[in-house]
A and B are shown apart, each in its own frame.
Chain A
């Protein structure tokens, strides 16, 4: 018998065994492929609150499934699996596993905001896409974005010392995101950046004085000193701890605000 609506099957639902014996009957070979039931057996009634609590997701429960967002979507035109309407529905009913299935495409939203402009219920689907991507990252379903890594390093230094050290932020950011600093200097944008800070044209023209006058010397020295001694803002004391606790509390409140 043909399988109806084959398109609804995803690879993870299909089970195949080389050898299969059911109730003592060997069904290896032709009958060795089974499909897991697709039945939804429960909702998570509070899941939508998590998305509502993240920036952009505030209006998610307003959706009535007209599909305007998906129809107007830039990404949907390229990839029919990119379906904001569907993810919003899954959010409201609490079908988390459906959302996790699409973790590798939800972040692709290009924020063109056509959906935001067309939505008759002011759901702000573009914001919901951001909130969903954020949630997927918070839950560890998707790797941390580079900007999150940068923010974390930046915040860590702020809280620890009441100040940041540019070079240390960059150094740790490159390290945590597996970017090779030497290669970036030799062949990447960092080399170009350094070159432009220096006046090579002056040097080539033999104007040593002008070249040296423009060459950053004290700056890098200060940076190197700071990287070694890690100075703190004067009388910083326990400010960092208090701030960290306050930020945590505010985050918790914001996530539970709805």
Chain B
């Protein structure tokens, strides 16, 4: 029986799981494929987080430091698990540098991959410099200036297109990415704060600012920051004679076609399954669900279990998830893993 817990992925979910397991008295090995800890919020340079409003580098930075300072946690950056043998209570994982890791349980916080807008070419990303993604706008806000990449001017008018890479059978994304509505309304407010004269329009099919995000983000951006919400799914983004982008579609509330000029078009990109998931499934011997996220086993009594006993998955590895929930998943998985290890120990005794 091995008492170590192997945590794969050092994003909000993995960092939370690693710390939780360590505080509960277990030894933890934390493996991260990148050279930097923190996951998507750090790697993609998010600005202020939903819903706390704290800067990502501060909030996630605290999570990173907490784990780095913990003597019970061994960190392996720039590493992947390449092989897994054994069973619950007695796994041997091999890292990409050849190092073997003995562990009793494995927690996967392997996260997601941002949708690549190049897969919706009709919306102009990759064709026009002034078509950007929400991630790029996060970075602009982090740097303190919203601008058009083509010439650096401050945009008079910005539109955010929702559901880019979500809810779209054409490209096999039959899921709602859950958080983009809230992120977009948050960005709309941040744009307005940096540049009060900029008008922000959000093109939507539905607004899904779930739970308490409703008034804090949707209502506030509309009522206090005067974001305009237009019900239209855009057909095409082109460029007009004056160089400004033209957003074409049908406004279904006016029942008329629209061709509206914009300076900056922002894709609210969704959450794809981690592009490494097929490899992860193979290495850990677990199944993926039909969209390509990690398949969750029965949840009511076997929360966060995969189909392989002793291997747990949570956060955005299971499907689009927000940061706060991913952190909770990390804590919950540590609880599950330790509980199952204790049961194994009792059985052995």
Residue numbers of A with Cβ under 8 A of B are 5, 8, 37-43, 45, 48, 61-62, 64-65, 86, 89-90, 92-93, 95, 98, 121
Given that A45-B157, A61-B223, A62-B223 are known contacts, is A93 also in contact with B257, CB under 8 Å in the complex?
A: no
B259 touches A89 (CB 8 A): no
Q: Report whether A43 and B260 are in contact in the complex, using a CB–CB cutoff of 8 Å.
A: yes
From B222, B253, B257, give the contact of A39 (CB < 8 A): B257
- The stretch from B35-43, B226-234, B267-275, B294-302 touching chain A is B226-234
How far does the Cβ of B197 sit from chain A's closest Cβ, in whole Å?
A: 10
Of the A-B pairs whose beta carbons lie under 8 Å apart in the complex, a sample of 14, sorted by A's number, is A38-B256, A38-B257, A40-B254, A41-B259, A41-B260, A43-B228, A61-B223, A64-B222, A65-B253, A86-B254, A92-B228, A93-B254, A95-B254, A121-B219
Proximity string of chain B (211-252) to chain A, C-beta cutoff 8 Å, 1 when within and 0 when not: 000000001001100101111000000000000000000010
User: Do the beta carbons of B223 and A45 come within 8 Å of each other?
Assistant: no
**In the complex, which of the residues B201, B222, B259 contacts A62, with contact meaning CB atoms closer than 8 Å?**
B222
Give the Cβ gap from A189 to chain B, nearest Cβ, in Å: 45
B258 touches A40 (CB 8 A): yes
Contact of B222 among A8, A41, A61, A98 (CB under 8 A): A61
* A95 vs B228: C-alpha distance when bound (angstroms): 13
Task: Identify 7 new A-B residue pairs, CB closer than 8 A, beyond the known A39-B258, A48-B226.
Answer: A40-B257, A62-B219, A62-B222, A64-B222, A89-B253, A93-B228, A121-B219
* CB <8 Å contact, B253 and A61: no
> Is the Cβ of A40 less than 8 Å from the Cβ of B256?
yes
| Chain B minimum-CB-distance residue to A45 | B199
Nearest Cβ on chain A to B83's Cβ, whole angstroms: 53
| B75 CB–A CB distance under 8 Å | no
CA distance A131 to B239 in the complex (A): 37
Q: Which A residues lie within 8 Å of B258 (CB)?
A: 39-41
Q: Which of B207, B219, B254, B260 contacts A42 (CB 8 A)?
A: B260
B255 at the interface (CB under 8 A from A): yes
**Interfacial chain B residues near A40, Cβ < 8 Å:** 251, 254, 256-260
| Cα distance A64–B229 in the bound complex, in angstroms | 8
> Once bound together, how far apart are the Cα atoms of A38 and B260, in whole Å?
13
How far apart are the CA atoms of A150 and B195 in the complex, in Å?
45
Number of interface residues of B (CB under 8 A): 22
Residues of A within 8 A of B157 (CB): 45
Contact A42 B261 (CB under 8 A): yes
- Chain A residues with Cβ below 8 Å from B223 are 61-62
Contacts of A89 in B (CB 8 A): 253-254
Q: How long is the Cα–Cα vector from A93 to B230 in the complex, in angstroms?
A: 8
Query: Known contacts A45-B199, A62-B222, A98-B254: does B259 contact A39 (CB below 8 Å)?
Result: yes
Chain A residue at smallest Cβ distance from B246: A41
Whether the pair B260, A8 counts as a contact (CB closer than 8 A) is no
Q: Report the bound CA distance from A92 to B230 in whole Å.
A: 10
> What is the bound-complex CA distance between A47 and B245, given in angstroms?
22
Across-interface contacts of A92 in B (CB, < 8 A): 228
Cβ < 8 Å to A, chain B residues 127-165: 157
* Smallest CB-CB A-B distances: 9 pairs: A45-B199, A40-B258, A39-B257, A38-B256, A62-B223, A40-B256, A89-B253, A41-B259, A39-B259
B224 to chain A, nearest CB (A): 10
Partner of B255, one of A5, A41, A121: A5
CB neighbours of A45 from chain B (8 A)? 157, 199, 228
Task: Verify A61–B226 contact, CB threshold 8 A.
Answer: yes
Contacts of B219 in A (CB 8 A): 62, 121
List B contacts of A64 (CB < 8 A).
Answer: 207, 222, 229
- Chain A residues with Cβ below 8 Å from B259 are 39-41
A62 to B: closest C-beta gap in Å: 5
Q: Which residues of B contact A5 (CB under 8 A)?
A: 255
Q: Tell me which residues across on chain B come within 8 A of A38, comparing CB atoms.
A: 256-257
Instruction: Give Cα A90 to B255, complex, Å.
Output: 12
- Interchain CA distance A171-B256 in the complex, whole Å: 49
Please measure, in the bound complex, the distance between the C-alpha atom of A205 and the C-alpha atom of B255, giving whole angstroms. Answer: 73
Q: How far is the CA of A233 from the CA of B259 in the complex (A)?
A: 60
A52 to B, closest residue via Cβ: B226
Contact partners of B255 in chain A: CB under 8 A = 5, 8
With both beta carbons as reference points, the residue of chain B lying nearest to A38 in the complex is identified as: B256
- Complex formed: what's the CA distance from A86 to B207 in Å? 19
Alpha-carbon separation in the docked complex, A135 to B254 (Å): 21
* Residues of B contacting A41 in the complex (Cβ-Cβ under 8 angstroms): 258-260
Cα of A220 to Cα of B207 in the assembled complex, Å: 67
Q: Report chain A residues within 8 Å CB of B226.
A: 48, 61
In the complex, the chain A residue whose C-beta lies closest to that of B156 is A45
Question: Hey, what's the 0/1 contact readout for B155-182 against A, CB within 8 Å counting as 1?
Answer: 0010000000000000000000000000
Min C-beta distance of B120 to chain A, whole Å:
22
CA of A93 to CA of B231, assembled, Å: 11
A92 to B253, CA, bound (A): 12
Chain B residues, Cβ within 8 Å of A65: 229, 231, 253
Distance, CA A45 to CA B155, complexed state (A):
14
**Cα distance, A86 to B261, chains bound together (Å):** 22
A57 to B254: give the CA distance in the assembly, Å.
21
Q: How far is the CA of A8 from the CA of B207 in the complex (A)?
A: 27
Return A258 CB to nearest CB of chain B, in Å.
9
- Give Cα A62–Cα B220 distance, bound, in whole angstroms: 9
CB distance from B313 to the nearest CB of A (A): 37
Q: Mark B170-212, 1 if CB is under 8 A from A, else 0.
A: 0000000000000000000000000000010100000100000
